[in-house]
Amino acid sequence: MTDLKNKVALITGSARGLGRAIAERFAGLGADIIINYSKDSFSANEAVVNIQALGVRVIAVQADISKPADIENLFAEAKKAFGKIDIVVANAGVELADVPVTDFTEEQFDRLFAINTKGTYFTIQCAAKNIEDNGRIINISSTSAASPFPGFAVYGGSKTAPNYLVEVLAKEIGYRGVTVNSIVPYAVANAGIFTGMDTHTPELKWLSDMNPMKRMATVEDVSNAAVFFASNLSSFVSGQHLIVNGGGSQ
């Protein structure tokens, strides 16, 4: 039921961190992969080498997700290489936490919304236009969008709008057998702003201590949820938000 052979998966922001973990997990289940990166070509090429070793086809495509024209080109290159797209994971995003509402600048606001909201919207829109019938669209959200927390107003706000988009699009294209869902993870170790950080630092220890399971989420926790949504296991699950937070409130 989790076999992804003969499927083609496009994952935005997948040169490293969580996106790369999802790409490698899908590849391990047989899917051909489109790696997307904005600037880090070295990590993208490294991801390509790792995925090729799993015996599937893979390409890397540069695209700035804040630019709809780049997104359209990304999908065009994917279809040119593989002829179709079965799975899309809208993972690309930027984080900025611990900034009170009164301290946020217009530049910071615009950057977060350009990628997390606008970029995700047009990625999912392009997915809806290009994905095969019975395909899978997966949005990577954040528990910041599910539970208000001081310092996260703009970041959480930028991740909230795509969740609503997921619910609407699920109703609009469900007749094609396409499912549209979100994964809503707790802070993920070795992903995003936490990439390369020691989990024993005071900041990350605090995140672990406040969780009922006394740890942060791992990329494996989230990629496992992604496999559920990408596979036939979730063929009648759509318009939903799966919270992966170890039972916590954030």
In whole angstroms, how far apart are CA 208 and each of 84, 98, 121, 150, 196?
41, 17, 31, 18, 16
Q: How far apart are CA 85 and CA 67, in angstroms?
A: 20
Domain assignment present for residue 208? The answer is yes
Of 107, 111, 115, 109, whose CA–CA distance to 67 is shortest?
Answer: 115
Q: What amino acid positions are annotated as catalytic residues?
A: 141-142, 155, 159
- Closest C-alpha to 227, from 29, 81, 42: 29
The SS3 call for residue 166 is helix
pLDDT at 61: 98
How many independent structural domains does the chain possess? 1
- This prediction's pTM: 0.95
Write the CA distances from 185 to 147, 178, 232, integer angstroms: 12, 23, 22
Q: Of 70, 75, 30, which is closest to residue 51 (Cα–Cα)?
A: 30
Place of tokens 């039921």: 1
Is 40 domain-assigned? Answer: yes
Which pLDDT tens digit goes with each residue over 97-126? 788 899 989 999 999 999 999 999 999 999
Q: Which CATH number goes with the domain that contains 230?
A: 3.40.50.720
Residue 131, domain member (yes or no): yes
Q: Is 247 contained in some domain?
A: no
Specify if 248 maps to a domain: no
Per-residue model confidence as pLDDT tens digits over 53-102: 999 999 999 999 999 999 999 999 999 999 999 999 999 999 887 888 99
Instruction: Please check whether residue 230 lies inside any domain of the structure.
Output: yes
Whether the predicted pLDDT of 204 surpasses 90: no
3-class secondary structure, 89: strand
The verdict on residue 68 lying in a domain is yes
Q: What is the DSSP letter of 103?
A: G
Q: Which residues form the domain of 65?
A: 8-242
* Model confidence band, residue 250 (pLDDT cutoffs 50, 70, 90): low
Does a structural domain hold residue 115?
Answer: yes
What sign does the dihedral 42-19-185-79 (CA atoms) show? positive
Do 60 and 53 form a contact (C-beta atoms < 8 A)?
no
Distance CA 61, CA 38 (A): 9
In angstroms, the CA 42 to CA 23 distance is 16
